[in-house]
Structure 1
Amino acid sequence: MSADTYRPGVGELVDGAYELTAPLGQGGMALVWRAREVATGRDVAVKFLRLDSEDLRRLDPDERDAELVVLYARFRREAGLLGSLDHPGIPELYGHGSHLGMPYIAMRLVTGVTLRAFLDEHNTLPLASAVAVASQVAQALACAHTLPVVHRDLKPQNVMIDDDGVPTLLDFGIAKPLHAGATRYTAHGSTLGSRGYQAPEQILEKEPTARTDIYAFGCVLYELLAGRPPFTLGEGSGLIDRHLHEEPLPPGVYTAGVPEVLDDLVLSMLDKNPERRPAIGDVSDVLASWCPGPGDPEPRPRTHPDPTAPCRRPKGTPAAPRPEPAAVAAPVHGAGEEEWLDARMIERLCDQAESEIRQDAPGDAGRRLAGLTDRVREEWGVRRPLVRRVWRLAAERLRRAGDFGSAAPLFQDIADHLLHGDGPAERAERAVLRLRVAECRLAFGEMEAAIEAVHAAGHLAAGLPAELAARVEDERRVLDGQVTARMADPGDTHA
């Protein structure tokens, strides 16, 4: 049986690892099946690349061979991207390979309803529900943009809301890395994206950017707030022309109670000029300020699922447990994509981590940096400033998240191996790092080490220029206050 005619069936064992149990659906270029992972017994989704589609049948042999090269490469890239993205709102990659000549991807199974079906059933949504969906999708999209990757097909059909109300961003099949050297897998004359959600630059076949996703997300947010898309058929000019040339009305025109700030946000996301659209971080910040929080009442009318539930859950209350992934096969990258770790991506990740720290909200950027410390040091050595920046932000994220045991050795290593020179600035920086180490160890009851660090920092600060001394003194006083508090309550050994 050739790959062109092969069709998966119930009970079939894929690559010796996944037993197919039921078809979940198919699109123009892919089939998705529910399967049981043999090694763990958990349910997973297995996505196959379709080789028997009508689009391929219409091509002559040479054109078909050329198109298959693109489809195989894009499918491999999707596996690589899923292996690199780590967010609860994006399915984890469990494995990938080829079965009887058909490429497949195994990933976390997401059950529930699509946002398309959810909107069709609940029209229009309570404001709290609309913003809760958008805010959670924005966080998943921010993770992709941090890599950086542009999704290129953001639409209600590609968002699934599970029974707990958590939205998941699906289908990275045409997603594209934005780093230098990423291969272009779109043939000239082929416009990617979905009608009604394409940015003007997509329609005009220009190179996509992260702001291309912002336009599509703006269309989705418009529909969440207004109960209808920004442009519809049957209203004068065609849909494509309207996306290219017409300015939409604010969503609040169609739904009472939409705050002006959200109207303004949506219209800025739908700006025809990509440069004038906000970045995903700015979008996420605005949405977060209007999103329901812990203790807020359930919205009326009720919906099932309830997308506000994850936002209203009291802090510290765990979500429904997610299955632990099995060992993930190494991502397969297409030509020109062998190097995922480039300096621009890391710098953007650092910028986002710094923003998270300023907001005192340990998040995905800092967590991702924590997973890159060994790699950046191995690839770039110990003298590159960017390596030290990654380690410092990763350590700070771990400290603020309460993982003192992991943070302490990172701070110590920076002081001992990554910080070079012995000038006043370097001595001040080492003093601050050692105070951080002592603070982390104090969480485990190491009082004497903390007292020693406080005294050492005081002596050092006395010999530093005023500005550097003030910085060390600020940090020293914080630790001194923690030591004093511990001494007043000796039974408290774990803060």
Structure 2
Amino acid sequence: MDESSVQLGAGVVLQGRFELEESIGKGGMARVWRAVDRATGRRVAVKFLRMDTEEFQHLDLRERREAEREFRGRFRREAALLGQFVHPGITELIAQGMLGDLPYFVMRLVEGVTLHDFLKRQGALALPVALSCAVQVARALACAHAHLVVHRDLKPYNIMIAEDGTVVLLDFGIAKPLSGEATQYTRRGSTLGSGGYQAPEQILSRKVSTRSDIYSLGCVCYKMLTGRAPFISLEGSLRALQDLHLYAAPSPLRSRVAGVPAEVDDLVLRMLAKGQNERPDIDEVLAVLSPLTPSPGDPEPRPLTHPDLTLPFRRPGDGRPAERVRPPAKAVEEWLDRRMIERTCRTAREEIDEGDPGAAVGELAELAPRVRKEWGFRSALVRQVWNLAAEGLRIAGKCGAAAELYDGIAEDLVRGEGPKDRADRAVARLRAAECRLVDYDLGGALAVLADTEACAGELPPELAERVEAVRQELQLDVNERCDPPAGTS
């Protein structure tokens, strides 16, 4: 039954409480009305299921029944999800019911402008404005993701900016719960989401995760900061646009607009990674962006926009509290960013290869205890951090610190008894002894030389050659300190 077969119009009262005033929008599966709540005097939004679209009417009987089942299922699920969420950035559910055979639910009304219309009017946004919007959207997503729900249709049309600058994430109509045995309300062959903001896995109709929303948010952030989408099809076709999302690499933000911090550029590009596991999660997005939002008392942005998206951060007492969220120090201390560590390792390797260990090596040396504590001794990345830090410090002449790291590698990180582990352990012991020769620890060096000689003799040729090369370096250092300089008695 569609809405033409029921008495739906201005003046209709639902549940003796919600009086419809006017239709304020419609989409592919729903129509939204503004209403007044007689119990509170406040205006609310009432969302009705819609089955009067031209596409729906042209389906045959079997397809129409399947589509109706799908739409009703999604509609019920959206109401159920809104009933779970408690967050100022998501419209809360107030009531639900039936008007004849037409389901509806009542939610908080957000009056303002969509981000789509806001960007159409403003173009690229100043950094404080864009980040104020991005952080508010990310907080709402964090709430959904905490409930293991993927929005699946994040785009500027579904982001509403209220008059006080607060941002609300709308339309969970195609949201997908990841927990339990959620019923699928998707017809075979359909691709959910909006072109230009779909993650690659959505385009390919593959399994989605919360990081699918991260991709869409990355597209939104890119457009807010540069004034354009990350990908634009010159052909103007959806297929060509989807191919760009599947295969093309986005240009760095800083190649399109000045003033974007390196950490923001890096974050947004990682949000747009093709693989889900390559993207940051919502906590990392907030950890990077939240500290860059305006603080209470900061001046108005220039140019000033209306609505002013920075207002909830600059003057939080003027509207709903939206205090600046910073990651707790303890959380930052406990959780490391693996990709950041990998990048630092690559930079440290370059410093070492150039013979000029610097900041990256020093950073790895500081992080070495933390990565060991967080990821354990079995992690290849932990061993890489320790090896690069020790090698860099040794080359830089910081032998005491290097020796401690080499000891940690030999005594803690390398625990196996296979040929490679035995070779790694021998090399670490030799390097530690080499570092301690600075303090003329000849006895320790000679003992290590003797122990590793036997080890090298039991290893496969390629590993034995590696150990023997380091043994010869140490032996030469020992000889230099034992032999008196020429011309002396």
Q: CA deviation at 1:357?
A: 8.5
- Partner residue of 1:295? 297
- Partner residue of 2:20? 20
Q: CA deviation at 1:70?
A: 1.1
Equivalent-residue separation in structure 2 for 1:258 and 1:235 (angstroms): 30
Q: Is the 8 A contact 1:15 1:99 kept in 2?
A: no
Aligned identity (percent) is 53
Q: Structure 1 residues 233 and 46, CA, compared in 2 at 3 Å: closer, same or farther? A: same
- Partner residue of 1:432? none
Q: Matched residue of 2:139: which SS? A: helix
Q: Structure 1 residues 16 and 91, CA, compared in 2 at 3 Å: closer, same or farther? A: same
Q: Matched residue of 1:238: which SS? A: helix
Select which of 251, 271, 274 maps to 1:249.
251
Q: Structure 1 residues 107 and 283, CA, compared in 2 at 3 Å: closer, same or farther? A: same
Q: CA deviation at 1:205?
A: 0.3
Q: Matched residue of 2:182: which SS? A: coil
The 5-angstrom pairing of residues 464-475 of structure 1 reads none
Structure 1 stretches of 5 or more lacking a match?
A: 323-354, 361-495
- TM-score (ref. length: structure 2): 0.64
- Partner residue of 1:239? 241
Equivalent-residue separation in structure 1 for 2:16 and 2:247 (angstroms): 53
Structure 2 stretches of 5 or more lacking a match?
A: 333-489
Equivalent-residue separation in structure 2 for 1:212 and 1:356 (angstroms): 26
> Residue deviations 1:346-388, cap 9 Å, x none?
xxxxxxxxx759369xxxxxxxxxxxxxxxxxxxxxxxxxxxx
Q: Structure 1 residues 320 and 273, CA, compared in 2 at 3 Å: closer, same or farther? A: closer
1:163 paired with 2:163, answer yes
> Residue deviations 1:367-410, cap 9 Å, x none?
xxxxxxxxxxxxxxxxxxxxxxxxxxxxxxxxxxxxxxxxxxxx
Q: Matched residue of 1:104: which SS? A: strand
Q: Is the 8 A contact 2:2 2:50 kept in 1?
A: no
Could you tell me which amino acid in structure 2 is paired with residue 88 of structure 1? Answer: P
Q: CA deviation at 1:6?
A: 3.7
Q: Is the 8 A contact 1:30 1:47 kept in 2?
A: yes
- Partner residue of 1:279? 281
Q: Is the 8 A contact 2:159 2:169 kept in 1?
A: yes
**RMSD (Å) for aligned C-alpha atoms:** 2.1
Equivalent-residue separation in structure 1 for 2:273 and 2:253 (angstroms): 14
Q: Matched residue of 2:66: which SS? A: helix
- TM-score (ref. length: structure 1): 0.63
Could you tell me which amino acid in structure 2 is paired with residue 358 of structure 1? Answer: K
Equivalent-residue separation in structure 2 for 1:205 and 1:52 (angstroms): 27
- Partner residue of 1:96? 96
Q: CA deviation at 1:5?
A: 3.6
Larger radius of gyration: 2
Q: Is the 8 A contact 1:137 1:167 kept in 2?
A: yes
Q: Is the 8 A contact 1:219 1:270 kept in 2?
A: yes
Q: Report the structure, 1 or 2, having the larger helix content.
A: 2
Equivalent-residue separation in structure 2 for 1:2 and 1:284 (angstroms): 42
Equivalent-residue separation in structure 1 for 2:198 and 2:72 (angstroms): 24
Q: CA deviation at 1:16?
A: 2.7
The 5-angstrom pairing of residues 388-407 of structure 1 reads none
The 5-angstrom pairing of residues 116-127 of structure 1 reads 116-127=116-127
> Residue deviations 1:312-340, cap 9 Å, x none?
125xx362599xxxxxxxxxxxxxxxxxx
- Partner residue of 2:87? 87
Select which of 285, 305, 308 maps to 2:307.
305
- Partner residue of 2:187? 187
Equivalent-residue separation in structure 2 for 1:290 and 1:34 (angstroms): 36
Equivalent-residue separation in structure 1 for 2:80 and 2:131 (angstroms): 31
User: Which of structures 1 and 2 has the larger relative contact order (alpha carbons within 8 angstroms, sep 6+)?
Assistant: 1
Could you tell me which amino acid in structure 2 is paired with residue 233 of structure 1? Answer: S
Q: Structure 1 residues 359 and 137, CA, compared in 2 at 3 Å: closer, same or farther? A: same
Matched pairs, number: 327
Could you tell me which amino acid in structure 1 is paired with residue 16 of structure 2? Answer: G
Q: CA deviation at 1:7?
A: 6.4
Equivalent-residue separation in structure 2 for 1:159 and 1:2 (angstroms): 28
Equivalent-residue separation in structure 1 for 2:141 and 2:179 (angstroms): 17
Equivalent-residue separation in structure 1 for 2:212 and 2:231 (angstroms): 17
